[in-house]
Amino acid sequence: MSKKILCFFMIVLITVSLFGCGKPSLNRYEAQYLDVFDTATFVISYNDSQETFDAQTRLIHEELMKYHKYYDIYNDYEGINNIKTINDNAGIAPVKVDSAIIELLLFAKKMYQLTDGKTNVALGSVLKIWHQYREEGLEDPAKAKLPSLQELQDAALHTDINDVMIDEKESTVYLKDPLMRLDVGAIAKGYATERVSMLAKEQGFQSGLISVGGNVRVIGMKGDTGELWNVAVQNPDTENTEKPYLHLVNITDHSLVTSGDYIRYYVVDGVRYHHIIDPVTLYPSAYAVSVTIVCKDSGVADALSTALFNMSYEEGLSLIEGITDTEAMWILPSGEEKFSSGFEELMTK
């Protein structure tokens, strides 16, 4: 008789496993692009068909490309006045621009206030110098040099965000200081990611993830599984293959943005100089190796990740704890990890 009992349990087990293996009705699709915001963009979605996914990614790509052109500071595009056009006309004339630029710059001013100037889109004159030295150093590493403090301090005289004159009624932007340059690199990707994600959501992108160079925005759950999205924060020690990522963060309808110093850099006399410049010292910021922000809006997350990178952990913590539904994680130069009060609740235990 014990065999019969065993048999019964086995039948139950097999039946349960068969039902458990039932395929979900939505499939996972992925696409990637390299032609927007000078970075790698990934789109992941759970969808009923490849056709639906293709239509959604077409919209996402087209929209990202639109913002890429508007927010570009290096290239001209026919028939478009972009940030470069505004820079080219500094001290000369107001430039008529699309509302996407006006709204970005108004948002940038808000972020400047929120971060006490640690995220400043008017820092372009300083960032331009670093960009030039970095490009030359990468082109010919033997001749890589650092800019002089004098050169940087001279440029820093032209970084007052109040000189960015925005006329919402006329839809124009004018840089009052002729030597001022806008550089929206610290906020544009995140801001564009947020706007595109919201538009895509309205158009039926209900279960997806968009990542534009480390600016991740997730929408809904993973298909019809009811599971949260798992976004991993990379280990800054990229050669550590045993531990490629430090933590897995579980989110829905939120953004996760990481700023780090370990991928984009150039080397002068054996020392790495990364791309995030502290507006106070005018040199690459040295407070952290990586800062991750989780909050709803990807634009805010992008601005805050740069801001926290440019301030001490204590200052950053005090800023983050004052903003609702916003969490942060730091990896300090010592390798020590720090978290805001609610960050660890988001992590896979």
Partner 1 sequence: MFIKAIYKYGDKMNFFKKTDLLIIATILIVSALSFGIYQLFLGGSAARAEIYYEGELVESIRLERGEEKEFSVPEAPSVVFHLWPDCTISFSQSDCPDQVCVHAGRIGTVGEFAACLPNKLVLKIVSDGKDEKEAPDIVIGN
Q: List interacting residues with partner 1 (CB under 8 A).
A: 1-6, 8, 28, 30-34, 38-40, 42, 44, 135, 138-139, 209, 211, 213-214, 216, 222, 227, 229-234, 236, 238-239, 241, 244-245, 248, 256-260, 262-265, 290, 292, 348
Q: Please tell me whether residue 32 adopts helix, strand or coil conformation.
A: strand
Min dist. Cβ of residue 190 to partner 1 (A): 12
Min dist. Cβ of residue 345 to partner 1 (A): 17
Q: Please tell me whether residue 17 adopts helix, strand or coil conformation.
A: helix
Min dist. Cβ of residue 211 to partner 1 (A): 5
Q: Which is nearer to partner 1, 236 or 279 (CB)?
A: 236
Q: One-letter amino acid identity for 318?
A: S
Q: One-letter amino acid identity for 285?
A: S
Q: Which is nearer to partner 1, 10 or 165 (CB)?
A: 10
Buried b (16+ CB within 10 A) or exposed e, 248-287: ebebeebbbbbbbbeeebbebeeeebbbbbbbeebebbeb
- CA gap 159, 110 in Å, rounded: 16
Exposed / middle / buried, residue 161 (Cβ in 10 Å: 0-12, 13-18, 19+): middle
Min dist. Cβ of residue 178 to partner 1 (A): 31
Q: Which is nearer to partner 1, 38 or 314 (CB)?
A: 38
Min dist. Cβ of residue 232 to partner 1 (A): 4
Name the maximum alpha-carbon separation found in the chain. 96
Work out whether the CA dihedral 90, 95, 98, 102 comes out positive or negative: positive
Q: Which is nearer to partner 1, 38 or 344 (CB)?
A: 38
Q: Which is nearer to partner 1, 85 or 208 (CB)?
A: 208
